[in-house]
Amino acid sequence: MGINKYDFNEKNILKFDSNEHEIAIATKKLQVFYGDNHALFDGDLEFERYKITSLIGASGSGKSTYLRSLNRMNDNVARVEGEIQYRGLNVNSKKINVYEMRKHIGMVFQRPNPFSKSISENITFALKEQGLKDKKKLEEVVESSLKDAALWDEVKDDLNKSAWSLSGGQQQRLCIARTIAMKPDILLLDEPASALDPISTSKIEETLVELKKRYTIIIVTHNMQQASRISDYTAFFHLGHILEYDKTKHIFTTPKVTATNDYISGNFG
């Protein structure tokens, strides 16, 4: 059974009623090209505020490409066309100050990537670079961010130790803490638990569910159980097309698109 047989016009994309739902970020006709390779076609999605949205799909489906375009991490490697609407601005415009924008749209990566600095410096580093000098304030941010990332109790006595002395799962939560220390609006996560063991994974998941009270979370995941456990909405990507976007429970119980149904029942991917 080939994976190319699906009709890319068979789509089911959820649109929100703007009177009832607050949209945090949305894309219009987002296209991504790596050289001649057209990696993403017409990405049209809206993300509701204070919800977790999962992006699922097989490898090479374009879900990571889509996510990394949202805070312009693909700028140097790909050509991104279309609109990314955030607070009335088109983020995908040359006029946007990307460095400023990334403070509002933070990102956590697949592999933990703490800096070769101490645990507390990992969190305060970017803040200091922005000019925050007040020691007391910085200490407060370290504590609150680590608490938000559910790491405080494990590291509160070792704040001056190197971040590399932590376990992989702890490092990833430190990366989440580092990102939310910037007080972003939106948290993008690119398969944040794929390199971690099940216990660390479930801790990250608990953390995310807690965080969605204050952040809009968009997460790419390979793990369908993870998507169904934690997310409110799910988008299904296939070969660069977004074929279905709906409430998570609809996607996993009564998908309307053939490709989605085949993917979640394990026929490919």
Out of 126, 159, 209, 224, the only residue in the binding site for other proteins (CB under 8 A) is: 126
Query: Min. distance of Cβ 21 from other proteins in angstroms?
Result: 27
Helix (H) or strand (E) holding 122: helix 119-129
The yes or no reply on residue 73 touching other proteins (CB under 8 A) is: yes
Q: Which stretch binds other proteins (CB under 8 A): 38-46, 123-131, 135-143, 247-255?
A: 123-131
| Residue 269: burial class (beta carbons within 10 Å; 0-12, 13-18, 19+) | middle
39-72 burial: b if 16+ Cβ within 10 Å, else e: bbeebbbbbbeebbbbbbbbeebbbbbbbbbbbb
71 forms part of the interface with other proteins (CB under 8 A): yes
Size of the site for other proteins (CB under 8 A): 27
State the minimum distance, in angstroms, from the CB of residue 176 to other proteins. 12
Q: By CB under 8 A, is residue 179 in contact with other proteins?
A: yes
Stretch that binds other proteins, among 10-18, 105-113, 233-241, 249-257 (CB under 8 A): 105-113
State in angstroms the smallest separation of the CB of 115 from other proteins: 6
Q: Does 103 bind other proteins (CB under 8 A)?
A: yes
Contact assessment for residue 150 and residue 173, using Cβ atoms and an 8 Å cutoff: yes
The full DSSP string for 132-189 is: ---HHHHHHHHHHHHHHTT-HHHHTT-TTSBGGGS-HHHHHHHHHHHHHTT--SEEEE
By CB under 8 A, name the binding residues for other proteins.
71, 73, 99-103, 106-107, 109, 111, 113-116, 125-126, 129-130, 161-162, 164-165, 175, 178-179, 182
